[in-house]
């Protein structure tokens, strides 16, 4: 395998046999006369259509694979292969690989070459549909699936792609609604417009959705904080309403038992008005999400003020723990929403509040991984991998363009592409080439490659990679 510089992966691509009757005679069996065919060819001349009779004897060319194609079918196959190599898979109308393959199949039902070509096009459309889902382009994913279903009306995978795109689009819309409801404080009310209900609807569509699971945990955590706030304020009736709402969502939610304990603690401290005032102000700050500086007043400073006067105060210690729990939940919510920047900001506050170091380290790893994924989708990578750095699971050689073969062209193409965290190829581009005629074939081939996902820190990460294709005749 030849190398150029530090990275050079050579893929030798043999040109396909030159088309036409002469070459068919040279590489296949002799011409077989199959009968008398009545054929008419429509020729467009200045908008008029002329019908001319064809000779009554049609030749059939036996290919090397043992499949017989008529001369007309051989021409359509050539057009289809040229269109496919040039990237005209389904567009433009009437001049794309799919239309030529379908025309072949219509002319010769059961034609193996046409059916194989259609299989290639279906595989391409399916890959494009999956790529659209990866980019959250739901309309494009459904459009590609519909193209498949136009040809294969019962295609199970195309139907699945279409249904999945619609489901994910609905989840995306519901996720935005839930974030707005949560931010506005509509946690469990009103009845038809609250965050808890929306998160449950998301889980109905995807029971493993971590964003919705985390959202419900955050709702519960906020309600527990509200119950604690009411308990600190001495409003037992309001505290009980919050407790009931928590139990409706999670009967085993952490913190419920502490609410009753806090009520008892507050009664014991009724004689200390200054401490009472600080605890009340701290609980109000906690309820209003004024957790940490620079917010003033904030729950963190107020609970610490109580502890400076009464180091054994269970209420203040519990209050500080609620602040830390709330900050951790905010970090996780930002992670579930895909915001690495927001999660990093919340994590800084969690460190200042004294959240356990192990928890902080684990969350920081999640933040770094999310940032890595976001950078990859934005096209930002810290290095370019060569093929020797990766494990190839499926490698497809590009088709030698017929036009290049006819002209006796040889050359090379350097392709750069992303291997995502699942091992699929995305965002392939031509970095350089010696001959533009080979570029489309190289891109079309590398898009069908598949790799073992790259693992860093026990997680699969997307990487940017490079490959070089050499096109040589012979």
Write the DSSP string, 399-444.
PBPHHHHHTT--EEEEEEEEE-TTSBEEEEEEEEES-GGGHHHHHH
Residue 395 confidence class, pLDDT cut points 50, 70, 90:
very high
Residue after which a domain boundary falls, among 377, 403, 436: 377
Residue 17 confidence class, pLDDT cut points 50, 70, 90:
very low
ω before 92 within 30° of 0 (cis)? yes
Q: Span 93-98, mean pLDDT?
A: 92
Domain that holds residue 430: 384-471
Residue 101 domain flag: no
Residue 368 confidence class, pLDDT cut points 50, 70, 90:
confident
User: Do 353 and 304 form a contact (C-beta atoms < 8 A)?
Assistant: no
Examine the domain organization and report whether 303 and 423 are in the same domain. Answer: no
Residue 268 domain flag: yes
Nearest CA-CA partner of 441 in 410, 465, 464, 463: 410
Percent of the chain with pLDDT strictly greater than 70: 82
User: Do 362 and 332 form a contact (C-beta atoms < 8 A)?
Assistant: no
Residue 272 domain flag: yes
Examine the domain organization and report whether 370 and 306 are in the same domain. Answer: yes
Residue 200 confidence class, pLDDT cut points 50, 70, 90:
very high
Residue 199 domain flag: no
Residue 95 confidence class, pLDDT cut points 50, 70, 90:
very high
Angle at 49 between CA 47 and CA 50, to 5 degrees: 140
Asked if pLDDT for residue 26 goes beyond 80, the answer is no
pLDDT single digits (tens) 256-282:
778 767 766 775 665 467 788 899 999
Q: Span 387-394, mean pLDDT?
A: 94
Q: Quote the pLDDT of residue 234.
A: 80
User: Do 408 and 473 form a contact (C-beta atoms < 8 A)?
Assistant: yes
Q: Quote the pLDDT of residue 69.
A: 55
Examine the domain organization and report whether 229 and 363 are in the same domain. Answer: yes
Examine the domain organization and report whether 223 and 337 are in the same domain. Answer: yes
User: Do 232 and 303 form a contact (C-beta atoms < 8 A)?
Assistant: no
Q: What is the CATH number of the domain that holds 439?
A: 3.30.2420.10
Residue after which a domain boundary falls, among 317, 349, 377: 377
Asked if pLDDT for residue 43 goes beyond 50, the answer is no
pLDDT single digits (tens) 127-179:
999 999 999 999 999 999 999 999 999 999 999 999 999 999 999 999 999 99
- Say if strands 425-433 and 411-419 run parallel, antiparallel, or are unpaired: antiparallel
Examine the domain organization and report whether 265 and 306 are in the same domain. Answer: yes
| Overall domain count for the chain | 2
Percent of the chain with pLDDT strictly greater than 90: 64
Phi, psi (rounded to 5 degrees) for 13? -115, 120
Examine the domain organization and report whether 371 and 451 are in the same domain. Answer: no
Nearest CA-CA partner of 171 in 145, 218, 206: 206
Distance of CA 114 to the CA centre of its chain: 32
Residue 312 domain flag: yes
Q: Quote the pLDDT of residue 45.
A: 30
Examine the domain organization and report whether 357 and 411 are in the same domain. Answer: no
Q: Quote the pLDDT of residue 120.
A: 94
Question: Residue 70: enclosing H or E segment and its boundaries?
Answer: strand 68-70
Asked if pLDDT for residue 33 goes beyond 70, the answer is no
Q: Quote the pLDDT of residue 455.
A: 92
Asked if pLDDT for residue 473 goes beyond 80, the answer is no
Residue 247 domain flag: yes
Asked if pLDDT for residue 55 goes beyond 70, the answer is no
**Virtual torsion, Cα 355, 357, 358, 359, nearest 10 deg:** 30
Residue 37 domain flag: no
Q: Quote the pLDDT of residue 4.
A: 32
Intra-chain end-to-end CA distance of the chain, in Å: 15
Q: Span 326-353, mean pLDDT?
A: 92
Residue after which a domain boundary falls, among 377, 394, 412: 377
Asked if pLDDT for residue 400 goes beyond 80, the answer is yes
Q: Quote the pLDDT of residue 42.
A: 30
Q: Quote the pLDDT of residue 324.
A: 94
From 78-82, 105-109, 117-121, 404-408, the region with the lowest mean pLDDT: 404-408
Examine the domain organization and report whether 338 and 389 are in the same domain. Answer: no
Examine the domain organization and report whether 273 and 354 are in the same domain. Answer: yes
Q: Span 345-374, mean pLDDT?
A: 91
Asked if pLDDT for residue 201 goes beyond 80, the answer is yes
Residue 433 confidence class, pLDDT cut points 50, 70, 90:
very high
Q: Span 89-110, mean pLDDT?
A: 93
- 433 CB-side CA count, 13 A: 20
Pairwise CA distance, residues 380 & 417, whole Å: 12
Asked if pLDDT for residue 312 goes beyond 50, the answer is yes
Asked if pLDDT for residue 13 goes beyond 70, the answer is no
Examine the domain organization and report whether 406 and 364 are in the same domain. Answer: no
Residue 20 confidence class, pLDDT cut points 50, 70, 90:
very low
Examine the domain organization and report whether 354 and 454 are in the same domain. Answer: no
Examine the domain organization and report whether 369 and 393 are in the same domain. Answer: no
Q: Quote the pLDDT of residue 73.
A: 67
Residue 50 domain flag: no
């Amino acid at each position: 395998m030849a190398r150029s510089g530090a990275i050079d992966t050579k893929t030798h691509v043999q040109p396909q046999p030159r088309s036409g009757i002469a070459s068919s005679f040279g590489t296949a069996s002799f011409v077989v006369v199959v009968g008398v065919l009545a054929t008419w060819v429509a020729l467009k001349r200045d908008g008029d259509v002329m019908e001319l009779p064809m000779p009554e004897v049609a030749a059939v060319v036996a290919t090397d694979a043992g499949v017989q194609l008529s001369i007309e079918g051989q021409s359509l196959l050539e057009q289809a292969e040229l269109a496919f190599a040039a990237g005209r898979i389904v567009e433009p109308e009437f001049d794309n690989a799919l239309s030529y393959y379908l025309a072949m199949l219509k002319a010769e039902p059961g034609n193996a070459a046409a059916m194989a070509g259609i299989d290639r096009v279906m595989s391409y459309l399916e890959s494009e549909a999956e790529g659209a889902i990866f980019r959250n382009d739901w309309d494009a994913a459904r459009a590609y699936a519909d193209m498949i279903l136009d040809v294969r009306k019962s295609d199970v995978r195309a139907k699945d792609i279409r249904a999945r795109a619609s489901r994910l689009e609905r989840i995306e819309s519901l996720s935005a609604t839930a974030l707005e409801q949560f931010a506005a404080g509509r946690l469990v009310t009103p009845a038809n417009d609250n965050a808890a209900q929306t998160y449950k609807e998301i889980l109905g569509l995807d029971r493993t959705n971590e964003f919705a699971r985390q959202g419900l945990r955050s709702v519960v955590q906020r309600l527990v904080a509200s119950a604690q706030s009411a308990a600190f304020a001495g409003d037992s009736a309001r505290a009980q309403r919050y407790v009931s709402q928590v139990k409706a969502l999670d009967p085993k939610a952490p913190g419920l038992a502490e609410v009753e304990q806090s009520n008892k603690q507050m009664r014991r401290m009724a004689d200390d008005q200054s401490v009472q005032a600080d605890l009340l102000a701290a609980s109000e700050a906690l309820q209003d999400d004024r957790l940490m500086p620079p917010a003033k007043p904030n729950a963190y400073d107020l609970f610490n003020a109580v502890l400076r006067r009464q180091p054994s105060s269970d209420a203040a210690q519990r209050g500080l723990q609620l602040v830390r729990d709330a900050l951790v939940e905010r970090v996780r919510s930002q992670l579930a929403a895909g915001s690495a920047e927001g999660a990093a900001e919340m994590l800084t506050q969690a460190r200042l509040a004294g959240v356990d170091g192990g928890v902080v380290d684990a969350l920081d790893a999640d933040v770094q991984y999310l940032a890595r994924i976001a950078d990859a989708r934005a096209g930002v990578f810290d290095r370019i991998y060569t093929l020797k750095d990766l494990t190839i699971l499926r490698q497809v050689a590009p088709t030698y363009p017929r036009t290049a073969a006819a002209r006796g062209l040889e050359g090379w193409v350097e392709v750069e592409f992303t291997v995502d965290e699942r091992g699929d190829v995305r965002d392939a581009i031509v970095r350089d080439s010696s001959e533009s005629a080979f570029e489309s074939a190289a891109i079309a081939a590398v898009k069908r490659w598949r790799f073992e996902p790259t693992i860093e820190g026990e997680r699969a990460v997307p990487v940017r990679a490079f490959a070089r294709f050499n096109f040589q005749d012979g």
